[in-house]
Amino acid sequence: MKILGVVVLLLLFSCNSENNKSEIETKELKGTLDGYYDGKNVSASMRRYIEQWGQTEPTQNEFYSSFSYHGLKGLGYEEGISRRDPSTIIKVEDTYYVYYTRSPKTAPPVGYKKATKSLPANTWDMCDIYYATSKDGKTWKEQGITAARGPEGEFDDRSVFTPDIMVYKGKYYLYYQAVKFPYTERSKNVIGMSWSNSPEGPWHRHPEPVLVPGKPGKFGNDSSKRSDITEYGDFDSQKVHDPNLIVRDGKIWMYYKAHPMGVGSEHKAPRGVELKKPYPNFSMGVAIADSPEGPFVKHPLNPVSASGHEALVWPYKEGVASMITANGPEKNTIQWAKDGVNFEVKANIVLPPDAAGLYCKDKYDNTTNGIGFTWGMCHIAQSKSKPWAYLFGFKCDLSQEIEDLKHKGENIRFDAESRKKSTGRK
């Protein structure tokens, strides 16, 4: 009987293998370029080239771009001051405006455990939102504070950072990440808002957050690490941050970066607690509102991206495009969703800007035919030799309006120094 059972199992396995093989072989292609592959079987890679990439070289893909970088006068590196996380860049009459995270002049960051009321934990701690103006997008003049930290004891009394600016019905709205003192690895992060009748202020602080984290999990008691959890909560149970906005279908769409409680919990001790979560450590959600003050309602399909380090979106044609960088299985890609929710990978990119702010002139126009963009601003993160972040400019071709072959090149290579520093900033 045992021998008979083994024979039956082998026969079943053989039949299943033949069925799978037959299914692959009979899935013939249709509508290929010039009918060249119609009715033929191809390799898995060639099938992706045909079905996913449309038999199109990256240099002819509207969603593909390379990036070039340049310094910015007035916003470069400065000892003791961190400037980072630029907002969307807007133009009012003949002047460009950008809003960004800025620290006071301090000692270098000391980490969460050593941080005090006068010593920052990191380069986005103890910050306010500043703004700068420019006539050409290259030379900038820092003008001063827009959104300041809130009163002592409030949700935003420790730091406000990672801003985005929205122009809506003649008014200006700043959305930003906020934390209260003491600022630790486990601190909840929320999104606050201030508004003004002018891009230069005065700014009026909204008295409460417009978006807060989701259902919490439970932190462990054995350490103060954020990776030490005994239960996980929602995908955004610890932090909602890096807001990035568009106006679409007559509503305000706020895309945001999400962190759960227990980032890193999947690792073995001491780094983690070997507790896997059903969602990524880094993801992007979206919340939609009828008015700038909210309420912002989180979309039921959240997270809408399972990768990325910052939320970065812009209207493109009838849908929404997103630059996904740094983290997750689909990092360093441009993605697009016709409905603004169900994103698909459209291009792979190399060396994209960190924490980019775009000059996208129709971002808040409720457009049904988004044009895209060709330039913006990013930050150069802190390093051991330069412990304060600073702002940098970039160019690209992610626009319907131009065809810039300089920014459609492939075969991008890195020199020896870049490769040596690829696993750590020195």
Question: 344: part of which helix (H) or strand (E)?
Answer: strand 344-348
Report the share of the chain in percent with pLDDT over 90. 87
β-pairing verdict for 297-298 and 283-289: antiparallel
Higher pLDDT: 172 or 18? It is 172
Per-residue model confidence (pLDDT) at position 33: 95
Q: Got the DSSP string for 18-54? A: HHHHHHHHH----S-GGGTTTT----HHHHHHHHTTT
| pLDDT higher than threshold 60 for residue 239 | yes
Helix (H) or strand (E) holding 246: strand 239-248
Answer whether residue 22 shows pLDDT above 60: no
- pLDDT interval class at 425 (50, 70, 90): low
According to the model, what pLDDT value does residue 378 have?
Answer: 98
In terms of phi and psi (left: phi > 0; alpha: psi -120 to 50; beta: otherwise), the region of 317 is: left
Task: Report the run of H or E that residue 197 belongs to, with start and end.
Answer: none
| 90-109 per-residue burial string, b: 16 or more CB within 10 A, e: under 16 | beeeeebbbbbbbbeebeeb
Q: Provide the pLDDT for residue 16.
A: 53
In order of 18, 81, 176, 235, 301, the CA distances from 166 in angstroms are 57, 26, 11, 26, 24
The answer to whether residue 13 scores a pLDDT higher than 90 is no
End-to-end CA distance of the chain: 68
pLDDT single digits (tens) 255-291:
999 999 999 999 999 999 999 999 999 999 999 999 9
* Predicted confidence (pLDDT) per residue in 352-398, tens digit: 999 999 999 999 999 999 999 999 999 999 988 899 999 999 999 99
Structure tokens at 414: 């890195």
Give one DSSP letter per residue of 254-289, joined into a string. Answer: EEEEEE-TTTTTTSPTTT--S---SS-SSEEEEEEE
User: CA-CA distance, 413 to 410, in Å (whole number)?
Assistant: 9
Interatomic CA distance for residues 128 and 139, integer angstroms: 22
- In angstroms, what CA-CA distances link 71 with 350, 380, 390? 19, 10, 10
Q: How confident is the model at residue 254 (pLDDT cuts 50, 70, 90)?
A: very high
E strands, 282-337, in order: 283-289, 297-298, 313-316, 319-324, 333-337
29 bridge partner residues: none
